[in-house]
Amino acid sequence: MKIRECMTRDPVVAAPNDSARELLRRMRTRRIRHLPVVDESGALVGILSERDLLPLEGDHGASFDDPCVHDLMTADVKTVETEDTVHVAVRLFIEHRFGVLPVVEPGAARRLVGVLSPIDVLQAWHSLSTRVLRRDGGER
């Protein structure tokens, strides 16, 4: 199965100059734990996790001390491509304990087209295994 078949398309994203405090509020409201960071062209430049923002959680200081996403994001991001197999992503999830993998188009531009989470993979596996079980005469 290809990643394009089970990824989440059009994810919520951040820009490098966004307010980290505002993104923390947005992430909490939408129950999102990871945000890809993209530039004006839609190219992936980093990723921001809720964990990256935890130091801001208890800090109710003045807005002058509001870091931007660029200051807190991880710039060296492992990615998968739309045409990679889910097996490639599962290996990365296991080896690195990632909560999400950004999905980019094949090629050098690194244009973000989606994200893939372990839940996306499990949903795809469940759907596929259910079809196989139905075809083969039911659940065992």
Q: What is the CATH topology of the domain spanning 3-135?
A: CBS-domain (3.10.580)
Q: How big is the CA angle at 18 (ends 14 and 20), to the nearest 5 degrees?
A: 95
Quote the pLDDT of residue 62: 46
Q: Can you say whether the dihedral through the CA atoms of 123, 127, 130, 132 is positive or negative?
A: negative
Quote the pLDDT of residue 134: 82
Q: pTM for this one? A: 0.86
Strands (E), the chain: 8-9, 34-38, 44-49, 80-81, 101-104, 112-116
Task: Count CA atoms within 13 Å of residue 123 on its CB side.
Answer: 10
Quote the pLDDT of residue 60: 58
pLDDT tens string, the chain, 140 residues long: the values are: 999 999 999 999 999 999 999 999 999 999 999 999 999 999 999 999 999 988 887 655 544 468 999 999 999 999 999 999 999 999 999 999 999 999 999 987 899 999 999 999 999 988 888 887 788 776 65
Quote the pLDDT of residue 58: 66
Query: Which tokens in the block code for residue 133?
Result: 């079980």
What is the three-class DSSP state of 76?
coil
